[in-house]
Amino acid sequence: MDLTKRFDGRTALITGAGSGIGAATARRLAAEGARVLVTDIDEESARAVAADLPYATARRLDITDRESVDEVVGGLPALHVLVNNAFVPFVDDPDENWRRQLDGTLLGAVHCARAALPHLTATGGAIVTIGSVNAEADFGDHAYSAAKAALGSFTRTLAGEAAPHGVRVNQINPGTVATPAWSGREKELVALATRAYPLGRVGIPDDIAAAVAFLASPRRRLDHRHHPPRRRRPDGREHPLPRNPERRLIPFQRVNPRSRSRSQAATTGPGTSISTMKPCAG
C-alpha cells in the first residue's frame, strides 16, 4: 500500500494547526496527498505552515465562536477529515481559566463537529480529536483535566451516534509531547516527565500526527465484533465501558437511537492511548 497516496483527493481541516501537533498533522496529511485547510486563531502562524505545503490554504478560526466555525466549515465544497486539535493556553485567573478551557476544549470541538457532520456524512469521513491523559488523571490543572475528560465523553457519544451514517470518530490521548506549550516549562519539570516514560523520552508532534493519519485513513478497517466495549489507559490497564443501546440523540446528528458500538484501544508513542469506536450488529 502506497501511503503517500492514502489521502489523495481528500480534504482535511485541522484546528490549532499553526504549531505543535496541529502543524505536524498538517504536514503529515499533506505528504500523504490531502488538501489541508490549516486553521488557527493566530492566522499568521497558520499561513506560515500552509506556505510550505502543497495545495494547502490557511484561515483564521476561533473555535469558540460558533458563527465563525459555521462560516469556515460550511463554506467548504467538501470535507473528509476533521482534526479537533486546538489547544487552550492556561491563564492565572482560576475563573477565567475554567471558562476558557471549557469553551475552547469542549464547546470548540462541539462547534466544529456540528458544522462538519453534514460534509462528513456525505463523504464517509472521519473526526479525530486530540485529548490528553489528563482526562484520566489530574496532573495539575483541574480545569484542563475536567475539560479533556468531558471531551472524551463527548467523543464516545458522538462515535456511537455518527457511525451508522458512515462517519468514524476517534480520540487520541497523548502523554507529554514536546510542543511549544512545553518550551517555557522549568527544565526540572521536563526532566521529571522524561524519566516517567520507559523509552526515555517524551513524545514529539510527529508521533501523534502518525496516529491521526492512521485513524483518519479511508483504508482503516478494524473488526470489534468479538470484543466488549473497553477503554485502555496509557498504563495498560483496561476498564469496561458501559453498554448503552438506548443512546440519547445529540442535537446536531439524528441517527438510530438503538445503535450500539464497540471500542478498542491501541497505543502509539510514549504515554499515548488511542480510543477507537465502531458500530456492530447485535
- Which residues form the catalytic set? 144
Neighbouring CB atoms inside 10 A of 43's CB total 15
Q: How far is CA 54 from CA 16, 39, 196, 273, in A?
A: 19, 15, 38, 30
Single-letter amino acid code for the residue at 28: R
Element spanning 275, H or E = strand 273-278
Beta-bridge partner residues of 39: 59
How many Cα atoms occupy the beta-carbon half-sphere of 133 within 13 Å? Answer: 20
Report the largest interatomic distance among the alpha carbons of the chain, rounded to a whole angstrom: 52
Provide the grid cell at 231. 477503554
| 112-124 per-residue burial string, b: 16 or more CB within 10 A, e: under 16 | bbbbbbebbbebe
Classify residue 181 by its DSSP letter: G
